[in-house]
Amino acid sequence: MQVSSSLRESLITGGKTVGDVSEDICRQVEGKPTKLWWMAFGVSLVLLGFGVYTMSMTLWNGIGMWGLNKTVGWAWDITNFVWWVGIGHAGTLISAILLLFRQKWRMSINRAAEAMTIFAVICAATFPLIHMGRLWLGFYWALPLPNAFGSLWVNFNSPLLWDVFAISTYFTVSLVFWYIGLIPDFAVIRDRAVRMGNNTRAIIYNALSFGWQGGAKTWMRYESVALILAGLSTPLVLSVHTIVSMDFATSVVPGWHTTIFPPYFVAGAIFSGFAMVLTLLLITRKLFRLEDYITIYHVELMNIIIIVTGSIVGIAYITEFFIAWYGQVPAEQYAFINRATGPYWWAYWSMMTCNVISPQLFWFKKIRTSLVATFVLSIIVNIGMWFERFVIIVTSLHRDYLPSSWSMFYPTMYDVGEYVLTFGFFFAAFLLFAKFFPVINMAEVKSIIKSSSEKKH
Amino acid sequence: MSITKKTYWKGIQQLKNDPAFVKHADKEFVDLGVENDPRHTRRDFLKMMGFSVAAASLAACEAPIRKAIPFVNKPIDADPSIPNYYASTYVNGGDYCSVVVKTREGRPIKIEGNSLSKVSRGGTNAQVEASVMSLYDNYRLRGPKKGNDSANWEDVDKEITAKLQEVAAANGQIRIVSNTILSPSTKAAIERFKAKYPTASHVQYDQVSYYGILKGNEASFGKAFIPSYDFAKAKLIVSVGADFLGTWLSPIEFTKQYSVNRKISEDNRNMSRHYQFETNLTLTGANADYRTMIKPSQQGLVVAQLYNLIAGKAGSAAVSAGMDKVNYLDKAAEELWANRGKALLVCGSNDKDVQVLVNGINAMLDSYGSTILADKAVNFRQGNDEAMATFVADAADSKIGAVVFYNCNPVYDHPMGAQLGAALKNISLTVSTSYTEDETASMSAYKAPDHHYLESWNDFEPKANSFSLSQPAITPIFKTRQAQESLLMWAGEKVEYFTFVKNNWKDWYFNQSALGLGFQAFWDKCLYDGVLEVGGESGESLSFAGDVNAASSAISANYKANNTGFEIALYESYGVGNGSQANNPLLQELPDPITKAVWDHYATISQKDAAALGVNNDAEGRTQYLNIAIGGKSVKLPALVQPGQTPGTIGIALGYGRTKVGKVAENLGQNVYPLVVMANGSLNYTITSGVTPTLVDEPYQIAQTQIHQTYMGRSNVIQESVLSEFKKDPEAGREFPKITKWEEKVDPGTVSLWKGHDYNNHHWGMSIDLNSCTGCGACIVACNVENNVALVGKQEVINRREMHWLRIDRYYSSDTTDISDYAALEHASENPEVVFQPMLCQHCNNAPCETVCPVAATTHSTEGLNQMTYNRCIGTRYCANNCPYKVRRFNWFKYHDNQQFYESNPAMNTDLGRMVLNPDVTVRSRGVMEKCSFCVQRIQSGKLAAKREKRKVKDGDVVTACQASCTSGAIVFGDMNDSESQISKLLQIARSKDRPNSSDKQIGNPRAYRVLEEIGVKPNIFYLTKIKNKDVTNA
């Protein structure tokens, strides 16, 4: 039984009934796509096309199409990888950790956030793949598969191998979790399709729902599975970015070789993930008229999480500097001074402004409850988080131990193109999801509607 | 024309009128074929179709056949995969080096120094190392040509001989023009030619003239010669503008000698002191202990002042010229005098008056007979500027009937080249024997190409009584012919040059040797050794009789202490030299030791002048053009701000701006030979008046392999001190980083997650002496050739993607010593001290690259090598990121069989160029990482050779390519498990008793340090501290 305090504001506004929920959410699945949807989808496809072109050129000619060099061996590729993985984290946090903590407000946003996770992880995974010099071999050589090369095995010492495990596990668990959540909602769409006499849709959604009938036993099992998967996902929220951070933390590069990285990366991931969830939901909310489901209250709560994680990230930045001074390792001291005052000072200060200063604006209730301000700041936060990874990767590499090898990194059209590729894919995939799948978890929202939706009188 | 009636028949059947034939005689094709034959059934159709499909797919599978024809009778000394070595001699004009050529399957693939030579003593330089690539130059002439058309030798010979006779009959003048000829037999051939055509005479010139020195010596001693110098005997060296380690006279020999007194140890705490007074920052200046910047217009006065200072001490009369306030000059004079008998003054000036004073000083210092061996005259430079100028004038006046350019290119590399080029069409016979169609050859009517030196027979006399031979290491690739043979042919003597040389040796040297062997045995030995030393030094002493006062007054007139205008100092580039090997991509991509620029021609200017002219040359090599007006001429070159450049001067390299040279170097830079003018009877490579540089606001980017110039005061990278400190404490300059634990500070090597390795067989290691390394870059080229390192071209160097496995880091000092003042540390001093640090894979025992590779493509060997398995590499580049030394190189593109790199990398992109590749080393594919392997193929072949002989590998069996090329002996490679090896002795390695084969060895040499010791990666390469022979630190 769901019980909620009568003092609490309703999570769903507009006095929605169970029928309204089905109607509101299924409307865009059943109807024709709007003009706006087509435009957005068209733009996404254009971006995707450009990205596919640049990626093909890179695969055909070599990684030399990018701006990398002998000193800076990773730049946009791994920056984008870490950025996308980070973004994915919010989805898992919302659906797993908030589920365990029984935060009901997550119910109207978890579906979209999880979808975002899936697409972000796919985007992220493209970078470790295409950044390889020999993708055609690397995509399976990096897996511990039995092989005919004699006793060749992968190197379990390598953080890159840990990445392979971390990302693939994360993707699998997230996908299963998301899909299981979708099953009852697919069944709703199927039932409506049957009622409307749309046989094709009924067949498709019946298949997608695995023939869900909604019996009490089925619901019971469904909820246990959700709980188990939430339990499985919870450590992943912490472990995936921890492992990603070890790509850097276990190296000898000054600026990478720091023990603070795991918690700092996880906080950063949640920070950027929530910002991305906000960006997407504010658009979806407007586009699909879901203002009653994704309310100012949701936005405010997420903004509070952004203040918290943003502050953690800010403290991490300061701690790094303190330790560089306190540790008295000259190379590390130089690395940090160089971040702030070297040739990439602008990247560092962009990062500081976007990640540390801008979220502090959410202390003002007026700002954290303003949709426009939230939208702008959510984008700023993600720009900042992109710069954070760029600062960590490029400014650490470009001037490390031997001054003779110091150099600069200048991105080419192909570096940018690969990033555009993932944006094209991400938005195209999200738009398809939003059009064909229920963007809000109807089943869960219906469970809170009676207790927390204000009644029509 | 008579019509013969012939019958043609289709076959024997027609002739015999076979009935079966007659039946189908009207049809072209006898068989009806599958489609028309009604007897064929569905089954046949299916069979046919099945066969066709199978046949078509089989045909598609078949690899294109490349001809690989086995020997029918295998030559006795040619075994597949077994290299052969031939002693030979590299000669390019007057540049000389005795070499050993390594051939594989009949192809020369590597050049190394010949240690039997008493001249070059096993040393090489970048140009010698790179010359093997010139053999496979695509721009080489494929055979003789008449005009622009290919011809055959018979016709060409016939026509040339006829024309020569015609000219001779009309009493027309005939000239043979060449650079310095070191070969006695070539000179004999020329004499034969002259005997046949009495109006013929031989004109020698040098691309960079030493005629002033010849004349100076003539004025001093009555004999035009250049003596041998022995820097090994000199405790005090003063050089006024002579870049003797880089380009001056005989740099390989001098480097060898110079390094003798720069090697110090606990037991030998003495080293030579070296003062350099110069305009451009040269390689020699970079190695000097004290360096003073002077202007070219002051050079004569500096020498005169030094003369006066020495004369004052010697009690001789002073001369009138001189100048005050030359930094360190008084000190240099003081010490020269104190070290007389073991002091040496050299001067790069080509002004005979200056050289007379230099000789006078050396005479007062008793250098003759000690550091200068006048009786061992060198033949490296015999060019006569006046004779050449007369020739060009005669040619312009149409006084010359025929000219043969013997392997020289005066149209490009003589100051009056343009005039000569214009005059050539008025000469009725012009022949060039150059092996490429260079500027002179393309303007000559006949091209009679000579062999490349690796295809030739020849003999040389680099110094009096020192001889060497060159022998072919490959059958001539093209239809070229030995130029001497051509000359003899045109003189009416059809004789093989090999026979000619051999007969000459029989006549000239065999009797002298009186060894009790037959001539064939003598000849075989000479050929095997490549060199022959005859007799001893005559001990002839010279007495100085130069007129110093006359010289001094000429200097007073020609030099100025306070010239205000800009001046230009021309110099030979370290890579392409005088330009004759400009089409060699190995040299174009060799970073200049000082500027670290590749593929580029630029004008070096001082920091002060850059500010005044408004030149902004940033760290990325981006700069602007300077338009430099010189009298009526002008050159437009990008400016490169060069610390150490004398303010008010501009340095410009010779050897660029070739126009007929081949794809690699075409139109790269400007030809500045025309700027050279005749002064005081010889060519002068400085311009001291009428020079006005103006900024052209046009951006340009110079490609440099190193864009950060200082070592930021990081003592974990460079550890250096001065001799006086070293004398007190051999650990001077060393830094001992400590790791802080809770209660104590410990050595970084003691804190580790790793247990270390046990190398039960060998433990390969290397020691690099920063004090011996002159930074010349021969090792870079040697490594490139040995390991098939791809050359990537200018744009890729700008993208910071050069592939060199071995680089030489060049660091300038900065004015500050405050290691936290980063901004000031980045800025090089106006006249900096320079340190060179060869940097290659350090083969760490705790290699950070090995742990991060996800697929274990880079692993540790049981002999301490950090190995790279190209086949396994998937190209994540994590290893390169995690390499603290940044020595790993990624194949960003496919560098072989790729049109994009056709021009910069012919060795992997043309059929001819590919012949230079070392078959023992894989050509790496795109997307894999590569790096120095410690020449693992050489280690392997050394081990195999020892195994075949059933013995242990002994020191010297394995020599890496960089070590072999290192003239100064800075690089020592060997087995650190072998207590008898040179490296074990040098580093004073002590092995622990309980774990003798452990990777952790006690290093006893107080100078030895590991770069970045504090990060605990434990490299197998040790560096020996740089010690400057200065009185105080930071003076």
Chain A residues whose beta carbon lies within 8 Å of the beta carbon of residue B878: 73-74, 158, 160, 247
Find chain A residues with C-beta within 8 A of B855's C-beta: 138, 141-142, 152, 154-155
Contact between chains at A330 and B892 (C-beta distance less than 8 A): no
d(CA B535, CA B210): 27
Selected residues 40-69 of chain A with any CB under 8 Å from a CB in chain B: 61-64, 67-69
- The CA distance from B53 to the nearest CA of chain A, in Å, is 30
Write the CATH number for B599: 2.40.40.20
Predicted confidence band at B114 (pLDDT cuts at 50, 70, 90)? Answer: very high
pLDDT of B517 reads 79
pLDDT for residue B622:
94
> In this structure, is residue B545 part of a structural domain?
no
Closest to A62 (Cβ–Cβ): which among B807, B889, B892?
B892
pLDDT confidence band for A456 (50 / 70 / 90)? very low
Q: Quote the CA–CA distance of B743 and B45 in Å, as a whole number.
A: 92
HEC assignment per residue over A357-409: HHHHHHHCHHHHCCHHHHHHHHHHHHHHHHHHHHHHHHHHHHCCCCHHHCCCC
The H or E element spanning position B566 is strand B566-572
Question: B874 touching A, CB under 8 A?
Answer: yes
Considering only CB atoms, which chain B residues are within 8 Å of A154? 854-856
The mean pLDDT value for A368-374 works out to 94
Contact B717 A401 (CB under 8 A): yes
Let me know if residue A3 belongs to a domain: no
The pLDDT, as a whole number, for residue B209 is 94
Q: Which residues of A touch B893 (CB under 8 A)?
A: 61-62, 64
B697 and B845 inside one domain: no
pLDDT the model gives residue B66: 64
Residue showing tokens 């311009």: B687
The enclosing domain of A180 has a CATH number of 1.20.1630.10
Select the residue of B811, B856, B886 nearest A154 (Cβ to Cβ): B856
What pLDDT is recorded for position A289? Answer: 82
Q: Which of B799, B852, B929 shows the shortest C-beta gap to A251?
A: B852
pLDDT in tens, A21-32: 888 888 888 888
**How far is residue A401's CA from residue A251's CA, in Å, rounded to a whole number?**
13
Q: Which of B674, B701, B728 marks a domain boundary?
A: B701
Q: What is the pLDDT of residue B146?
A: 94
The predicted pLDDT at position B20 comes to 72
Indicate if B391 and B371 belong to the same structural domain: no
Whether chain A has a CB inside 8 Å of the CB on B1011: the answer is: yes
Q: What is the pLDDT of residues B457-515, one digit of tens each?
A: 999 999 988 999 999 999 999 999 999 999 999 999 999 999 999 999 999 888 655 66
One domain, residues B328 and B389: no
**Mutation target among A70, A136, A158, A345 for the B interface, most CBs of B within 10 A:** A70
Task: Reply yes or no on whether the pLDDT at A1 is more than 50.
Answer: no
Q: Are residues B875 and B989 in the same domain?
A: yes
Residue A129 forms part of a structural domain: yes
The reported pLDDT for the residue numbered B3 is: 60
pLDDT reading at A94 higher than 90: no
Looking at the structure, do residues B824 and B932 belong to the same domain, yes or no? yes
Strand B95-104 and strand B107-113: the pairing is: antiparallel
- Assign B31 a pLDDT band (cuts: 50, 70, 90): low
Q: Is A444's pLDDT higher than 90?
A: no
Residues in chain A within 8 Å Cβ distance of B891: 62, 133
- Same-domain check for residues B875 and B965: yes
* Per-residue confidence (pLDDT) for residue A328, from 0 to 100: 87
Decide if pLDDT at B927 tops 80.
yes
A337 touches chain B (CB under 8 A): yes
Q: Residue B881 is nearest to which of A67, A134, A251, comparing CB atoms?
A: A251
Q: Judge whether B134 lies within some domain.
A: no
Distance of alpha carbon B935 from alpha carbon B760, whole angstroms: 20
Inform me whether the C-beta atom of residue A335 falls under 8 Å from chain B C-beta atoms: no
Cβ contact, residue pair A62, B894, below 8 Å = yes
Mean pLDDT of chain B: 91
Write down the pLDDT at residue A453.
Answer: 47
pLDDT in tens, B437-456: 999 999 999 999 999 999 99
What mean pLDDT is predicted for residues B925-943?
95
pLDDT at B125: 93
Give the pLDDT mean for A95-110. Answer: 82
> What pLDDT band is residue A385 in, cutting at 50, 70 and 90?
very high
Residues in chain A closer than 8 A to B851 (CB atoms): 155, 157-158, 250
Question: What ipTM did this prediction achieve?
Answer: 0.93
Q: Which is more confident, B986 or A152?
A: B986
Residue numbers of B between 958 and 987 with CB closer than 8 Å to A: none
A146-to-A141, A152, A165, B98 alpha-carbon distances in Å: 10, 9, 16, 55
pLDDT at B51 over 70: yes
Quick one: pLDDT at residue B388? 95
Would you call B174 helix, strand, or coil by DSSP?
Answer: strand
Q: How many domains are there within chain A? A: 1
User: What stretch of H or E contains B447?
Assistant: strand B446-447
pLDDT for the residue numbered B35: 54
Does B177 map to a domain? yes
B824 touches chain A (CB under 8 A): no
- The domain in which residue A371 lies consists of 18-452
* Structure tokens belonging to residue A375: 């939208």
Q: The domain that contains B305 carries what CATH number? A: 3.40.228.10
Give the pLDDT confidence score for residue A96 in this predicted structure: 83
pLDDT band at residue B657 using 50, 70 and 90 as cut-offs: very high
Pick the more confident residue, B7 or B597.
B597
Mean pLDDT of the residues in chain A: 90
pLDDT band of B538, cuts 50, 70, 90: low
Nearest CA in chain B to A158: B852
Q: How far B1009 CA sits from the closest chain A CA (Å)?
A: 15
Residue in chain A closest to B709 (alpha carbons) equals: A404
Residue B199 lies in a domain: yes
d(CA A115, CA A155): 33
In CATH, what number is assigned to the domain containing residue B502? Answer: 3.40.50.740
Report pLDDT for B32.
Answer: 53
Verify that B960 and B883 share a domain, yes or no. yes
Partners of B100 in the beta sheet? B87, B112
Residue B350 has pLDDT above 90, yes or no: yes
Question: In the prediction, which pLDDT does B855 show?
Answer: 94
Q: Tell me which chain B residues have a C-beta less than 8 angstroms from the C-beta of A150.
A: none
Residue closest to A166 by CA, chosen among A220, A90, A242? A242
Number of domains chain B is built from: 5
The pLDDT of residue A281: 87
Strands B682-684 and B677-679: antiparallel
The pLDDT value recorded for residue A457 is 42
Whether A401 sits inside 8 A of B796 (CB atoms) is no
Nearest to B707 among A328, A331, A407 (CB): A407
Q: Is residue B863 part of a domain?
A: yes
Instruction: State whether residue A406 sits within 8 Å of chain B by CB.
Output: yes
Banded model confidence at residue A452, pLDDT cuts 50, 70, 90: very low
Mean pLDDT of B420-443: 94
B622 contacts in chain A (CB < 8 Å)? none
Confidence category of residue A100, pLDDT binned at 50, 70, 90: confident
Same domain, B368 and B500: no
Which of B378, B402, B432 is a domain's end point? Answer: B378
- Residue A158 to residue B852, Cβ atoms within 8 A: yes
What value, to the nearest 5°, has the Cα angle with vertex B783 and ends B782 and B787? 120
Residues 899-958 of B with CB under 8 A from A: 925-929
**Is B811 in Cβ contact with A403 (below 8 Å)?**
yes
Q: What is the mean pLDDT of residues A5-11?
A: 60
Q: Which of B855, B928, B1011 to mutate to test the interface with A (most CBs of A within 10 A)?
A: B855
Instruction: Inspect the interface and report whether the beta carbons of A133 and B799 lie closer than 8 Å.
Output: no
Average pLDDT over residues A257-280: 92
Closest CA to A358 of A385, A390, A397: A385
How far apart CA A377 and CA A367 sit, in angstroms, is 10
Mean pLDDT, to the nearest integer, of A138-153?
A: 86
CATH number assigned to the domain comprising residue B724:
3.30.70.20
| DSSP helix/strand/coil, B1002 | strand
Q: Does B168 touch chain A (CB under 8 A)?
A: no
* Full residue range of the structural domain in which residue B596 is found: 564-701
Query: B503 and B369, same structural domain?
Result: no
Asked if residue A118 has pLDDT above 50, the reply is yes
Q: What CA–CA distances, in Å, run from B924 to B793, B805, B900, B908?
A: 17, 13, 16, 10
Query: What is the percent of chain B where pLDDT is above 70?
Result: 96
Is there a single domain that holds both residue B835 and residue B977? yes
> Same domain, yes or no, for B327 and B398?
no
DSSP conformation class of B1015: G
Of A71, A142, A157, the CB nearest to B886: A71
Any chain A CB within 8 A of the CB of B799? yes
pLDDT value, residue A443: 86
Of the two residues B489 and A448, the one the predictor is more confident about is B489
Sheet holding B971-975, edge to edge: B971-975, B764-769, B1021-1024, B1008-1009
Indicate whether B83 belongs to any domain. no
Residue B528 lies in a domain: no
| Dihedral sign for Cα atoms in the order A139, A142, A145, A146 | positive
- Write the pLDDT tens digit of every residue in A169-201: 999 999 999 999 999 999 999 999 999 988 999
pLDDT tens digit sequence for B618-639: 889 999 999 999 988 999 999 9
Instruction: Classify residue B368: in a domain, yes or no.
Output: yes
Final residue in a domain of this structure, among B36, B62, B88: B62
Q: Determine which helix (DSSP H) or strand (DSSP E) holds B376, and give its type and residue range.
A: strand B372-378
pLDDT in tens, B67-86: 666 677 777 777 888 899 99
Smallest CA–CA distance, residue B843 to chain A, in Å, is 16
Q: Quick one: B489 and B629 in the same domain?
A: no
Chain B neighbors of A403, CB-CB under 8 A: 708, 710-712, 714, 717, 811
Among B740, B799, B891, B1013, pick the best mutation site for testing chain A contact (most A Cβ within 10 A): B799
